Amino acid sequence: MAETLRVENLTVRVGSLEIIHGISFSLRAHERTGLIGESGSGKTLTALALMGLLPEGLHAEGRVAYQQRNLLELEEQDLCRLRGDRLAMVFQEPMTALNPVMKIGQQVAEPLRIHRGMRAREAHSAALDILHRVHLPDPEEKMQAYPHQLSGGQRQRAMIAMATACSPEVLIADEPTTALDVTVQAQILRLLVELVEDGGSSLLLITHDLPVVANVCQRVLVLYGGYVVEEGDIDVIFGQPAHPYTRALLDAIPPLDEEVPDRKLKAIAGSVPNLGEFPPGCPFRNRCPRADEACSVMPALSGDAHRVACWHPLA
């Protein structure tokens, strides 16, 4: 399959502190890739770095190759042409990510007006179509509504509508369902899959929620402490995880198939350190049952289809 986006050695720094340490991965057309990590692993920052939307004080280095150009080196105006059109992002909290004082219709129509040069009326009816496509109930009515008048799930549909309006090649979804009710989560995920398959985009789904990844993605990247520690196809990762962290994450999922759980919930020992407080070498050292002196140096990602960065991988 064709590669749409290739990330090479992406490093993100705040001041002199390195947060994301030279990670590399690629996204392919029609493929749904998951980026798993706990809070503090740097997954949102990775997404923002790809879009060129890092907050003040953070800097990205490396190469984000898209259409033979390095996005990190593009001029802002060129990036603006790509954002919303070829590269789009869905954010976590739709209540704050949408403009509270602007009508939904206007916000959804905006990418079309910017990138397709549509006039107001044209964009309006196109936006209506998109809202239909994301299965928003009563789209005509909702076009004239404000964000606070919609439910959480409806807001997220509107956000997805906004992001997919121009049929982007790369769609990044940052925790798109975390702020939603469980019942709505499944619907939104199904919607994302549907849109991505219809539109042929690459999806990068960022989440801390493993079952979500299991349901939606074909490939998985596991992020910890600013490093990609494991990467592979979904069945392999979930079936035969190689990195101790991945194993621990899987073990920590409470089993639903047992009547009365006959074992204690396996939490991962310790807690995620704050940014800048990870130990030198492998960031998982202090919580890993298999760690030793060799782990004071960070191993590189090795393997081909299934890659892992560990001196003592499982299996």
Partner 1 sequence: MAVQVVVRLFWLIVSLFVASVLVFVVVNVLPGDVAAVILGTSATPEALETLRHQLGLDQPGWVRYLAWIGSMLHGDFGTSVLSHADVGPLILQKLSVSGPLALASATIAMMVAVPLGVLAGTRYRSTTGTLISTLSLVGIAVPAFWAGLLLATVFAIQLRLLPAGGFTDWSTDPIAAMKSLVLPALALGLVNAAVLTRYIRSAIIDVQREDFIRTARAKGLTRVEALRRHGFRYAAIPVVTILGIQLTGLLVGAIVIENVFVLPGLGRLLFQSVGNRDLLVVQDVVMLLTAIVLVVNFLVDLTYRVLDPRIRASA
Cβ distance to partner 1 smaller for residue 34 or 111: 111
Count, residues in the chain? 315
Angle, alpha carbons 59-63-66 (nearest 5°):
115
Q: Is 231 in the site for partner 1 (CB under 8 A)?
A: no
CA 128 to mean position of chain CA atoms: 27
Order of strands across the sheet with 3-14? Answer: 17-28, 3-14, 58-66, 69-70
Q: Is 83 in the site for partner 1 (CB under 8 A)?
A: yes
Site residues for partner 1, 84-103, by CB under 8 A, read 84-85, 88-89, 91, 93, 96-102
Q: What is the largest CA-CA distance in the chain?
A: 66
Q: Which stretch binds partner 1 (CB under 8 A): 110-118, 188-196, 244-252, 292-300?
A: 110-118
Cβ distance to partner 1 smaller for residue 114 or 301: 114
Q: Is 115 in the site for partner 1 (CB under 8 A)?
A: yes
Q: Is 44 in the site for partner 1 (CB under 8 A)?
A: no
Q: Which stretch binds partner 1 (CB under 8 A): 3-11, 145-153, 226-234, 256-264?
A: 145-153
Q: Is 111 in the site for partner 1 (CB under 8 A)?
A: yes
Question: 172 vs 38, 86, 201, 249, CA distance in Å?
Answer: 17, 11, 10, 23
Cβ distance to partner 1 smaller for residue 120 or 300: 120
| DSSP bridge pairs for 173 | 90, 205
Cβ distance to partner 1 smaller for residue 27 or 165: 165
| Amino acid identity at 41 | S
Q: Is 146 in the site for partner 1 (CB under 8 A)?
A: yes
| Amino acid identity at 40 | G
What whole-number distance in Å separates Cα of residue 106 and Cα of residue 124?
Answer: 7
Per-residue x/- marks for partner 1, 148-177, CB under 8 A?
Answer: xx---------x--xx--------------
Cβ distance to partner 1 smaller for residue 89 or 229: 89
| Burial class of residue 36 in the structure, from the number of CB atoms within 10 Å of its CB (0-12 exposed, 13-18 middle, 19+ buried) | buried
Cβ distance to partner 1 smaller for residue 188 or 234: 188
Q: Is 53 in the site for partner 1 (CB under 8 A)?
A: yes
C-beta of residue 174 within 8 angstroms of C-beta of residue 44: yes
What whole-number distance in Å separates Cα of residue 230 and Cα of residue 236?
Answer: 11
Cβ distance to partner 1 smaller for residue 109 or 234: 109
C-beta of residue 298 within 8 angstroms of C-beta of residue 225: no
Contact residues toward partner 1 (CB under 8 A) are 51, 53, 76-77, 80-85, 88-89, 91, 93, 96-102, 110-111, 114-115, 146, 148-149, 159, 162-163
